């Protein structure tokens, strides 16, 4: 007696219809599709997003390496000594924060995705009134903290060696801004100017601002510039002590971004002892 066999259409494994079976059928095809369909849609989306994230991570890593090596090659072809290259490389590293900020602004403008929300809140949460903070991670991070304090209701004053017009593009608030320079206002300069030699005038300006009201934040960027202009470190440290004392007494916040490579090690340690070091 011959063996009974079910009609061909009844011999198709479960899931064959979903695989678009048209006569030729692979059990592995149905099995893999069934397994994939059992993965929740949310998890499938997460897997896709994860791949995209790591592709972007690797691409950014590759671009960063290429940029770093290109800049190093460019320095070596200009006849600089190894010591000069080392100093310039350290200085370049200090500008990473600003470069990253500019890239985040570009992403926000082009895609609407705000990458500032999560990365900067952790740093700002460390900032409390009545304190001074030394920010060694660059001007970009200092501006990030300053901008968030403005957004939370603080009134701000910036005294900076960098031209205020260039800084204005990186903050959303409307603080008072002054340029630390030997040049006088006028001749195309649209901001009040303070000389690095007039420490008394700088102190009076900062103290007056701190006393004018509550919730005040001051960013003073130019300690290394003051040293380059002939002020000795002890005089500059005394000047900073005065600003810090008034920040404490008025419950204001003083932000002091610096470039660590501009200081001798012993002087940098002294600065770190008179103010809180804000981690990046």
pLDDT of residue 267: 92
- Do 241 and 98 meet the contact criterion of CB atoms below 8 Å apart? no
Q: Position of tokens 């849609």?
A: 41
In the chain, at which residue ranges do the beta strands (DSSP E only) sit? 131-135, 155-160, 176-180, 193-194, 216-221, 253-257, 276-277
pLDDT of residue 39: 56
Rg (CA), the chain: 30
Q: Does the CA dihedral 104-105-109-114 come out positive or negative? A: positive
CA-to-CA distance for 161 and 187, rounded, in angstroms? 18
- Name the DSSP letter for residue 190: -
CA-to-CA distance for 236 and 273, rounded, in angstroms? 14
pLDDT of residue 21: 45
Ordered per-residue pLDDT tens for the chain, 280 residues: 455 554 554 445 444 444 444 445 455 554 445 544 555 555 555 556 666 666 777 777 777 777 777 777 877 777 777 777 776 776 666 556 557 667 777 777 888 776 655 444 445 567 899 999 999 888 888 999 999 999 888 999 999 999 998 998 888 888 999 999 988 766 667 889 999 989 999 999 999 999 999 999 999 999 989 988 877 899 999 999 999 999 999 999 999 999 888 888 899 999 999 999 886 5
SS (HEC) of 11-73: HCCCCCCCCCCCCCCCHHHHHHHHHHHHCCHHHHHHHHHHHHHHHHHHHHHHHHHHHHHHHHH
All structural domains of the chain: 121-277 (3.40.50.300)
| pTM reported for the whole predicted model | 0.58
3-state DSSP assignment of residue 186: strand
């Amino acid at each position: 007696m011959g063996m009974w066999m079910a009609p061909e259409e009844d011999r198709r494994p479960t899931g064959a219809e979903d695989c678009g079976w048209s006569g030729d059928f692979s059990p592995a095809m149905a099995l893999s599709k069934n397994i994939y369909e059992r993965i929740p849609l949310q998890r499938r989306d997460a897997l896709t997003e994860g791949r995209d994230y790591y592709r972007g991570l690797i691409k950014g890593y590759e671009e960063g390496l290429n940029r770093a090596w290109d800049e190093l090659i460019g320095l070596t072809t200009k006849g600089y000594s190894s010591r000069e290259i080392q100093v310039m490389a350290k200085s370049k590293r200090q500008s990473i924060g600003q470069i990253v900020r500019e890239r985040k602004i570009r992403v926000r403008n082009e895609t609407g995705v705000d990458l500032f929300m999560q990365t900067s809140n952790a740093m700002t949460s460390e900032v409390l009134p009545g304190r001074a903070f030394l920010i060694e991670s660059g001007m970009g991070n200092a501006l990030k903290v300053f901008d968030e304090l403005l957004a939370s209701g603080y009134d701000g004053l910036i005294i900076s060696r960098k031209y205020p017009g260039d800084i204005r593009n990186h903050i959303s608030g409307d603080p008072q801004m002054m340029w630390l320079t030997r040049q006088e206002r006028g001749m195309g300069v649209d901001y009040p100017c303070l000389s690095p030699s007039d420490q008394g005038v700088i102190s009076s300006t900062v103290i007056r601002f701190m006393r004018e009201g509550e919730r005040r934040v001051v960013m003073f960027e130019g300690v290394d510039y003051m040293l380059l202009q002939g002020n000795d470190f002890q005089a500059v440290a005394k000047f900073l002590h005065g600003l810090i004392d008034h920040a404490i007494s008025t419950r204001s916040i003083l932000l002091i971004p610096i470039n660590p490579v501009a200081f001798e090690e012993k002087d940098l340690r002294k600065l770190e002892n008179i103010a809180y070091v804000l981690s990046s």
